[in-house]
Amino acid sequence: MEDMSSIRLGTRASTLATTQSEMVAELLRSQGLDVDLATITTHGDTSTASLASMGGIGVFASAIRTALLEGSADIAVHSFKDLPTGRPLGLAIGAVPVREDPRDALVARDGLTLGELPQRASVGTGSPRRVAQLLAVRPDLTIVDIRGNVDTRLGRVKGLGHYAKDSGKEDLDAVVLAASGLARLGHSDVITELLDPSVVLPAPAQGALAVECRTADVHHGKLAKALARIDDHGTRLSATAERAVLSHLGAGCAAPIGALAHLTPTPGRSPDVLTLDVVVAAVNGSRTIREQVSVELPEEVEPALAAAHTLGVTAAEELLDDGAADVADLKASGSTR
């Protein structure tokens, strides 16, 4: 689509989704493009079931992808961690903007940290990955499965009911959320601890956004050029490696798997080094398997991305060699329900 007069950006209706979409829209508008947001309702928005029970994988993406393929939207902004690793024919990731902080954040009553929470403290999260790693370091915690938007989750914490108090739900001592979502909504001030990746490794591609479009529109035209300008190569490399772990394991975004890559530049000489940390943990916290792998990257863009993907495959193979399939039911966690 060479000269579309107005770009329709498909987005979920949640505050976080529209905020993230508006951020990307502004980046494109700054290049002279006319961008309008088009709200799309997804199965994940209408279901009251827990995210894990819905399979996690693709629950927020399918309706938006259908809109792209049918032409009722031209681009879409996804939280990259929520996007299935398989991509429908005809769609491409047109841009991966600069990543926000990928870490998980603890929001606790009275400013408490994870180590300071009392015995049997109630901690809310809907993520098996977070549950598994939290229980590995604090097996005494009482984990409460929660759903809802960011404000609703914050409102569950004792003393934070002014966000969105749900009178039918018990107060919690803490919740765990992605630091990136809190930052984008202007709620970083409620964070009581940014959880170190050595304690809780984030979800693959957490903190990154993916701008998806039709394949034909990523190769030519004004939109393609604009997307190329907001693409961050380092973020795309890291997300590629992290998501390759999920893909190779056949798991989904609800699996108890963490992955975080970081790029170490070598100014004045090459190659740069990409290092990837991964973890698979039993949901009850009884066992964790961690691996670290690294690779020297080629200078060219496409070979570097291929090397990043191979790094993720290597990490996944090392997890399997060390018994990951016995620690967590990877296939069940990756259900497409």
In order of their start, the domains of the chain are 7-96+208-231 (3.40.190.10), 104-194 (3.40.190.10), 237-333 (3.30.160.40)
Q: List the Cα angle 29/34/37 in 5-degree steps.
A: 90
DSSP label of 192: S
Could you tell me if 255 and 333 are in contact, meaning their C-beta atoms sit under 8 angstroms apart? yes
Q: How far apart are CA 34 and CA 324, in angstroms?
A: 48
Q: What is the percentage of the chain residues whose pLDDT exceeds 90?
A: 77
Question: Would you call 82 a catalytic residue per the annotation?
Answer: yes
> Of residues 82, 173, 217, 277, which has the active-site annotation?
82
**Given a cut of 70, is residue 59 above it in pLDDT?**
no
258: CB partners within 8 A, 6+ apart: 129, 133, 197, 200, 201, 202, 203, 204, 277, 278, 279, 281
Looking at residue 166, what is its pLDDT? Answer: 63
Sheet of 7-11: strand order equals: 35-39, 7-11, 75-79, 209-214, 91-95
Window from 80-84, 118-122, 209-213 with minimum mean pLDDT: 80-84
- As a whole number, mean pLDDT of residues 257-274 equals 87
For residue 328, name the pLDDT band (cuts at 50, 70, 90): confident
Q: What is the percentage of the chain residues whose pLDDT exceeds 70?
A: 88
Whole-prediction pTM: 0.91
Phi and psi (nearest 5°) for 88?
A: -60, 145
**Given a cut of 50, is residue 11 above it in pLDDT?**
yes
**Given a cut of 70, is residue 61 above it in pLDDT?**
yes
**Which has more pLDDT, 261 or 57?**
261
Q: How far apart are CA 294 and CA 277, in angstroms?
A: 9
Window from 120-134, 186-200, 318-332 with minimum mean pLDDT: 318-332
Looking at residue 161, what is its pLDDT? Answer: 74
Q: List the Cα angle 255/101/185 in 5-degree steps.
A: 95
- As a whole number, mean pLDDT of residues 138-156 equals 95
- As a whole number, mean pLDDT of residues 298-322 equals 97
Question: pLDDT of 96-137, one tens digit each?
Answer: 999 999 999 999 999 999 999 999 999 999 999 999 999 999
- As a whole number, mean pLDDT of residues 236-260 equals 93
Q: How far apart are CA 130 and CA 50, in angstroms?
A: 14
**Which has more pLDDT, 167 or 228?**
228
Looking at residue 233, what is its pLDDT? Answer: 96
**Given a cut of 70, is residue 49 above it in pLDDT?**
no
Q: Which amino acid is at 1?
A: M
Q: Average pLDDT, whole number, for the chain?
A: 90
Window from 77-86, 91-100, 227-236 with minimum mean pLDDT: 77-86
What the block records as the tokens of 130 is 């977070």
**Which has more pLDDT, 167 or 129?**
129
Strand pairing class (35-39; 7-11): parallel
**Given a cut of 50, is residue 336 above it in pLDDT?**
no
